[in-house]
A and B are shown apart, each in its own frame.
Chain A
């Protein structure tokens, strides 16, 4: 990718240094913070305990949580899709749909239930966005799952479009239990590690906690604004 431009930087930054009463700084070492309470949250919880925390938190974010195992995943998913009155479904293009044995079943959905399952197609972006926009259900896997806040973290890439979890009327997150961590700190630590190792950070990292909502009218909570109106998490035992 071509490098971008930077304009006016020196005047602007010199001005800041001047206000601070010193020369410009060329290096700064980030200190070790004196207080670090974030690492104590849900420390030493087992994966099973973290699922319990996640489940409890889902209640306050208007999200259904269903636990299942690999064997029952297909039936569970189909039930949730039908529950959302899904006729058109958009999924991300993620190898885990195959790994968890869902890909093969998607073909049957059409015959059995007249449900169309589309996969995000990087070679035909316009169509992908259009289909996502009128889809009843969007489905993605979670990359990292935060128990404390009931959050799925999605790293965008060519197969994992931003629209899949955003434009459809409802959203289903598939959560392999092994993706659970206590809170946001573990996810941002991982991204910090990527940066330090000069790995490429995803152009869009979404932290999603339930369906969209707003309290802008007389502080009344309304669930479902611009993003999905409903959300369900399916936690899959995978260890």
Chain B
């Protein structure tokens, strides 16, 4: 599955999302739960703000010196007998992995969850050459069995499916005969996947954070599938986005602590597994051969620009879990494997404005995302920057302002989405509303009003939203 998912037209994806009541209910309750957990974990820590500053400082320093740390990482991996391949494009990365798999004559690959391999469409590339790829994260497994339904959330990929749907998928595809109880469904998946782990020739993992000083990398999971994938197959391939790195183990601690709290409200997940090279010669389990593929795929073009901070992202999904727009349209509407606020910032950077210029408008600019981001990425400011650039670019290319507004037009054209996106706005703009039209607003609303006068959103919306948010409903 490449980065792009679903129908091409943004508006039809949005409407599809708005019409899917189950999905919206599921998203609402999941968001509620995840938000509460995150807030609790942050509270317990006491000085969450201090932690966020530390996270931001570490990410900043690492990005500014990324060439140095990646070089160090690669040398340390090689010292421990691992092979490193730097891949400029998705194609380069896929070709390298294919080549390793061919050499091993591997027929079956067990994979643990990884966003970057989704981004480069690795599974498609491997399946093309007749290799079976088994996703082993429970959510990803469900989606794969269901004819490759795309993920809708970066931490909980099958969020949009209910247990009855999952039962039916297992029944139709795998002959499952039990009920829709999550325990029974999970036990069934455990049994199915155990066989796959034992039979796989190659294990493929993503990478939450690589550690430059020792050539190590950490996998943060709850299910234990990443441990299986890095324990049983004889060959292991790990694919990482080039920005997923920290200088030393001391920073690994900080980033993992921020990630698990922000993502799921846990102090640590059940498993944090830090691997260095292949297994030692005297050890019996673990891979005999290890390959690390470091992927650029458009990331270096973001470095050195005003969007550099988007590369600080640690994929915790906290911004997605608080986003009122995501809440209404769901993950698939973004048309990208990266949904929500971070998706709206990152997807146009990686995939270009051509296909994704509507995404920066899929936001109310309420700033909730920026407030929860554990590494303090100014998400809503980045969205404003995108909007400015889109307008400028299109002006330059001579299409005139009407075309320049087309992204916005699509938003305003879908009145339900428009209402959603402006949900937070009345609270911010009331003093500036004249005759039920907003002329110039302060702060986050300004870029909207710069574009044209907007109808004033209805007042009770913010309160409604806030109330349901507080009760986690």
**A192 touches which of B33, B68, B248 (Cβ 8 Å):** B248
Q: Please tell me if the beta carbons of B284 and A129 are within 8 angstroms of each other in the complex.
A: yes
Residue of B232, B249, B279 ringed by the most chain A CB atoms within 10 A = B249
Give the size of the chain A interface in residues (CB under 8 angstroms).
89
A31 vs B224: C-alpha distance in the bound complex, in angstroms? Answer: 35
Q: Nearest Cβ distance between residue A138 and chain B, in whole angstroms?
A: 12
Say yes or no for A207: interface residue by CB 8 A criterion: yes
**A219 touches which of B33, B50, B271 (Cβ 8 Å):** B33
Residue of A5, A31, A133 ringed by the most chain B CB atoms within 10 A = A5
A interface SS class: loop
Residue of B54, B67, B228 ringed by the most chain A CB atoms within 10 A = B67
Contact with B along A1-38 (1 / 0, CB 8 A): 11111111101111111011100111110110111111
Say yes or no for A107: interface residue by CB 8 A criterion: no
Say yes or no for B277: interface residue by CB 8 A criterion: yes
Q: For residues 70 through 125 of chain A, which have their beta carbon under 8 Å from a beta carbon of chain B? A: 122, 125
Given A33-B58, A158-B282, A213-B223, the answer on whether A3 and B67 have CB atoms closer than 8 Å is no
**B228 touches which of A126, A206, A209, A226 (Cβ 8 Å):** A226
B residues in contact with A20, CB < 8 Å: 64, 66-67, 303-304
A residues in contact with B317, CB < 8 Å: none
Q: Please tell me if the beta carbons of B80 and A4 are within 8 angstroms of each other in the complex.
A: yes
**B282 touches which of A5, A33, A122, A146 (Cβ 8 Å):** A122
Contact with B along A200-224 (1 / 0, CB 8 A): 0111111111111111111110101
Q: Please tell me if the beta carbons of B81 and A26 are within 8 angstroms of each other in the complex.
A: no
A122 vs B138: C-alpha distance in the bound complex, in angstroms? Answer: 32
Q: Nearest Cβ distance between residue A225 and chain B, in whole angstroms?
A: 4
Q: Please tell me if the beta carbons of B224 and A203 are within 8 angstroms of each other in the complex.
A: no
Given A6-B78, A13-B71, A38-B254, the answer on whether A225 and B278 have CB atoms closer than 8 Å is no
Q: Please tell me if the beta carbons of B253 and A227 are within 8 angstroms of each other in the complex.
A: no
Say yes or no for B174: interface residue by CB 8 A criterion: no
Q: For residues 56 through 114 of chain B, which have their beta carbon under 8 Å from a beta carbon of chain A? A: 57-58, 61, 64-71, 74-75, 77-88, 92, 96
A residues in contact with B227, CB < 8 Å: 162, 166, 206, 226-227
Say yes or no for B462: interface residue by CB 8 A criterion: no
A residues in contact with B269, CB < 8 Å: 209
Say yes or no for A145: interface residue by CB 8 A criterion: no
Say yes or no for A128: interface residue by CB 8 A criterion: yes
Given A4-B81, A213-B270, the answer on whether A16 and B257 have CB atoms closer than 8 Å is no
Residue of B82, B250, B285 ringed by the most chain A CB atoms within 10 A = B285
B residues in contact with A187, CB < 8 Å: 253
Say yes or no for B128: interface residue by CB 8 A criterion: no
A216 vs B216: C-alpha distance in the bound complex, in angstroms? Answer: 28
Of chain A, the residue at the smallest CB distance from B63 is A20
Say yes or no for B306: interface residue by CB 8 A criterion: no
A residues in contact with B138, CB < 8 Å: 214, 216-217, 225
Q: Nearest Cβ distance between residue A198 and chain B, in whole angstroms?
A: 10
Q: Please tell me if the beta carbons of B253 and A201 are within 8 angstroms of each other in the complex.
A: no
Q: Please tell me if the beta carbons of A216 and B85 are within 8 angstroms of each other in the complex.
A: no
Q: Which of B182-190, B337-345, B410-418, B449-457 contacts A (4 or more CB under 8 A)?
A: B182-190
Q: Please tell me if the beta carbons of B303 and A189 are within 8 angstroms of each other in the complex.
A: no
Contact with A along B213-234 (1 / 0, CB 8 A): 1101000001111011011100
Q: Nearest Cβ distance between residue B471 and chain A, in whole angstroms?
A: 16
A residues in contact with B432, CB < 8 Å: none
Residue of B222, B225, B282, B286 ringed by the most chain A CB atoms within 10 A = B222
Q: For residues 137 through 162 of chain B, which have their beta carbon under 8 Å from a beta carbon of chain A? A: 137-139, 142, 156-159, 162
List 6 A-B pairs, Cβ < 8 Å.
A4-B290, A11-B86, A38-B54, A166-B228, A212-B224, A226-B225
What are the 7 A-B residue pairs with the smallest beta carbon separation, nearest first?
A125-B284, A227-B224, A12-B86, A216-B139, A149-B267, A212-B224, A226-B224
Residue positions of A touching B, CB distance < 8 A: 1-9, 11-17, 19-21, 24-28, 30-31, 33-38, 40-41, 57, 61, 122, 125-126, 128-129, 133, 146, 148-151, 156-158, 161-163, 166, 183-185, 187-189, 191-192, 195, 201-220, 222, 224-228
Residue positions of B touching A, CB distance < 8 A: 26, 29-30, 33-34, 45, 47, 50-51, 53-54, 57-58, 61, 64-71, 74-75, 77-88, 92, 96, 136-139, 142, 156-159, 162-163, 166, 182-183, 185-187, 189-190, 193-194, 197-198, 213-214, 216, 222-225, 227-228, 230-232, 242, 247-250, 252-254, 256-257, 264, 266-286, 290, 294, 296, 300-301, 303-304
Known: A30-B61, A203-B275. 19 other contacts (CB 8 A): A1-B281, A4-B79, A4-B290, A8-B87, A16-B300, A25-B65, A57-B267, A128-B285, A184-B253, A191-B249, A202-B276, A203-B280, A203-B286, A207-B271, A209-B268, A211-B270, A215-B156, A219-B30, A219-B33
